Homo-oligomer: A and B are copies of this chain.
Amino acid sequence: MEGLELRRLERGDFDKGFLQLMQQLTVVGDVSREMFDAKMQQLEKLGDYHRIVVIEDVKSGRVVATGSIFIEHKFARSCGKVGHLEDVVVDERMRGCHLGQRYLYFALSIFAQQSQRRVIEALTSFAKDAGCYKVILDCKPENAAFYEKCGYSKKEIQMAKYF
């Protein structure tokens, strides 16, 4: 995938559209540069227990995909570890939304799928190398087929309580 660089999230990504990309996934709200830097500092303290990767389109200097993983310490499985995959998103422009031309739509869609898969595989490999015995994630039912292609299987149900 020429021109697309996968790497860890950096402070400079504040100016490269990282938060705008996250907004396509969830509610981000107001995040100033100071808040961003403070969160980066907190994440740096966690070292390899929390890793966020991005794919940068080198030509445009924009972040076009991201995903994160954090590692949980367990007593299960001989004091093993579990990777939690979170916040995987690919820029909607790569996903081909709002484009009238069908051919262009599909070309971009495959490109987006490749980027998404690259993020998922990079984070899954990271967790495996860190000694995790499994990686888990929560997703919408319509995205399950995609994760199955990446080697994931359906397990339980997710529940949430909002404050």
Q: Which residues of A contact B (CB under 8 A)?
A: 18-19, 22, 25-31, 35-36, 38-39, 42-43, 46, 49-50, 70, 72-79, 84, 86-87, 124, 128, 132-141, 144, 147-148, 150-163
Given the interface pairs A133-B162, A161-B134, A163-B128, the reply to whether A75 lies near B139 with Cβ below 8 Å is: no
- Specify which chain B residues have a CB less than 8 angstroms from the CB of A139 in the assembled complex: 156-157, 159
CB nearest neighbor in B for A18: B75
Cβ contact within 8 Å between B77 and A27:
yes
A76-B49 Cα distance, complex, nearest whole Å? 19
A152-B160 Cα distance, complex, nearest whole Å? 5
Cβ contact within 8 Å between A73 and B87:
no
CB nearest neighbor in B for A159: B152
Given the interface pairs A50-B73, A75-B19, the reply to whether A134 lies near B157 with Cβ below 8 Å is: no
Inter-chain pairs besides A138-B155, A140-B156, 17 sampled, C-beta below 8 Å:
A19-B75, A22-B76, A27-B76, A31-B75, A36-B75, A39-B73, A39-B75, A42-B73, A75-B87, A136-B160, A138-B156, A141-B156, A150-B161, A153-B159, A154-B157, A154-B159, A157-B157
